[in-house]
Structure 1
């Protein structure tokens, strides 16, 4: 195995191991007495799982502390005598779009793209708003309902990420290091607010684990759920399709192509959403055109997008708060390109396809938007960084010294209503 492969190449099971002891499996890796002791957490949670969930809980507490400080220390106005409501810091930017869709629908009172001042809400896929509306039946406060969705989905996501890490980075036996890098990453705040990242990963990472075990029905079903949340689900579907083809080619003749029909399932939710939008607007690509109107996502050559983003970052045409975020967009794009190159070098074709398609979608707009946030969805990045830190112990300290303050600044920017990607 190449010295660059830890964190990028899943390990093969050792001879004599069973599916219950393989790293990276869907179920628990071990079941010791401590995992089944009455009065503790659910029996299927291993000690490694509980360690990851404890880290997850601590980082949620730290974000709540940051939010509390933000509403007292950085109020809107120079002479404010009363802090903002408790949950106000979390209800910013796209969270308002999801709230409006869940509460009022996509086209309330016959409004739509033909209406002056339209908010282009059809750009957002329906998975999160539908779930938000359902949870709101139990949790009356819209913001609290969105936070609850992200809290639960984030817990599922970190458990799935830790189990993914066990197959890619055997030295990270409990996945704790990978999850640490993930939860302290610069855009980690978006996992804790009413955004789609946590919910998407709660579907996407278990889907990838199922695909690695060649459980194509489960993998494609979970991917279909992911495509209700974000268009990125189609990139995941492409990665699973590549993995399926590679698996089929290496299988015995006539055996490997069973289950190929499942690969079409993830395309159904986007198709159904396009049909709904066409029925309302007469436009099959209404969601894409809404992105173009609201977020400058019309197609541009990659070099044009880079130039426009560079000018926005360093040309002095935007306020410093926006300029520094465009600088982050450039840095995230470079990171994504480096990750794709590393995946290709190590012949990780499915993961390379997933990241490359994401970069193509984000890198062919007028300028880059939300590339740093997209890094949260690149699970090969977090396993690769964990593997690097195990080979180069100094890297863990260097990463934390850089990522933690950047993460705090991005969180503070978002929680105070400033643009944070």
Structure 2
């Protein structure tokens, strides 16, 4: 039975970690400068879309990569910006609120699966790339829809699950993988056929977004082509992607560390996928496996460690293990915690952090 203490523990961990992160990163930095430091990499691109749309800043150079970002977070930024004049602070507030929802849902999901909810939350918050849950990125907002959607599905509340998954599909292309996994969960759980039509709902935002860009530019797959134009992420065979990444990681240069992080993330991703398959968590394996295939057939590995934040089945499985063997979470915290602080420092200094 899920009790109020589960929600309380999740919120305390989330808010406490945010307070600790603030103290660890704000000392000696003026607030105005501090807020701007969070506008690194994609955070600035989300603000650009929120302010000007997908054509970008009319006074700047056109960015062909903007359609790669789904409209959910830019829409949330515009809404918050109605009352918060600073765009950087708006992004931080969206992630703060969305993260609270996501952590409560993750704790409840873990408890439903027989694990301790606070362990799942703590493991996620200590993961080396957890800085992106705090920054003005889309990870927290996606999880705020995706984890409650999965929780609803596991409880047999399919209309609610479908509507929440549709919200996730507005935020990231990962919503497509969630929609497919929900269909697998529906079949394997032997849910009543009369509710099967709800499974189409999470695909509708994806169709609408494609139609929008077709009307705008004549390109049904603008989000995919934007990945290729902005980051060179064309689909290749997995061994080609591995070779390109390995050469970049071992060849020295400014980006070698970043590619080593990507390789480490890929190893964790494969191990987690094998683990879920061994546990016969078929629908969860579909959700994570589709992401793994997409990430590891790109021209080179990019953002794999950050994508692992979205693998909520992995965090629930980890919580199940650590619930039985408490030393696991202690050892994990001692290793992952310092790495998380290091990655946070890298991000705030403009370095690639996953």
What TM-score, normalized by structure 2, do the two folds share? Answer: 0.95
Which runs of 4 or more aligned residues in structure 1 lie more than 6 Å from their structure 2 counterparts after TM superposition? none
Please give the secondary structure, in 1, of the residue aligned with 2:34. coil
Tell me which of 120, 135, 147 is aligned to 1:205. Answer: 147
Q: How far did 1:219 drift?
A: 0.6
Tell me which of 134, 141, 145 is aligned to 2:79. Answer: 134
Structure 2 portions without partners, runs of 5+: none
Q: Give the root-mean-square deviation of aligned CA atoms.
A: 1.9
- Work out the CA distance in 2 between the residues paired with 1:348 and 1:83: 45
Alignment of 1:287 onto 2:287: no
Alignment of 1:93 onto 2:41: yes
| Deviation by residue 1:384-413 (Cα, 9 ceiling, x = unmatched) | 222222333332222111101110011001
Does structure 2 retain, via aligned residues, the 8 Å contact 1:242–1:350?
yes
Which residue matches 2:113? 168
Tell me which of 46, 54, 57 is aligned to 2:12. Answer: 54
Which residue matches 2:266? 333
- Work out the CA distance in 1 between the residues paired with 2:293 and 2:243: 15
Structure 1 portions without partners, runs of 5+: 1-20, 22-28, 31-45, 73-81
What TM-score, normalized by structure 1, do the two folds share? Answer: 0.80
Q: How far did 1:117 drift?
A: 5.1
Tell me which of 214, 218, 242 is aligned to 2:156. Answer: 214
Larger Rg: 1
Shift in alpha-carbon separation, 1:109–1:340, aligned structure 2, 3 A: closer
| Deviation by residue 1:226-285 (Cα, 9 ceiling, x = unmatched) | 00000001111111100111123xx6xxxx211111111111111111111111111111
Equivalent pairs counted in the alignment come to: 354
Does structure 2 retain, via aligned residues, the 8 Å contact 1:181–1:382?
yes
Which residue matches 2:284? 351
Q: How far did 1:213 drift?
A: 1.4
Which residue matches 2:21? 63
- Work out the CA distance in 1 between the residues paired with 2:62 and 2:57: 14
Does structure 2 retain, via aligned residues, the 8 Å contact 1:67–1:89?
no
Does structure 2 retain, via aligned residues, the 8 Å contact 1:169–1:383?
no
Please give the secondary structure, in 2, of the residue aligned with 1:87. helix
Please give the secondary structure, in 2, of the residue aligned with 1:237. helix
- Work out the CA distance in 1 between the residues paired with 2:232 and 2:96: 31
Does structure 1 retain, via aligned residues, the 8 Å contact 2:6–2:104?
no
Task: Describe how 1:320-399 pairs up with structure 2 within 5 A.
Answer: 322-399=255-332
Which residue matches 2:334? 401
Which residue matches 1:307? 243
Q: How far did 1:144 drift?
A: 1.0
- Work out the CA distance in 1 between the residues paired with 2:275 and 2:21: 32
Between 322-331 and 407-416, report the one with greater CA deviation. Answer: 322-331
Please give the secondary structure, in 2, of the residue aligned with 1:92. coil
Does structure 2 retain, via aligned residues, the 8 Å contact 1:66–1:412?
no
Alignment of 1:264 onto 2:209: no
| Deviation by residue 1:125-184 (Cα, 9 ceiling, x = unmatched) | 0010011111100111111111111000000000000001102234x2xx1111111111
Q: How far did 1:109 drift?
A: 7.7
Identify the structure with the greater helix proportion. 2
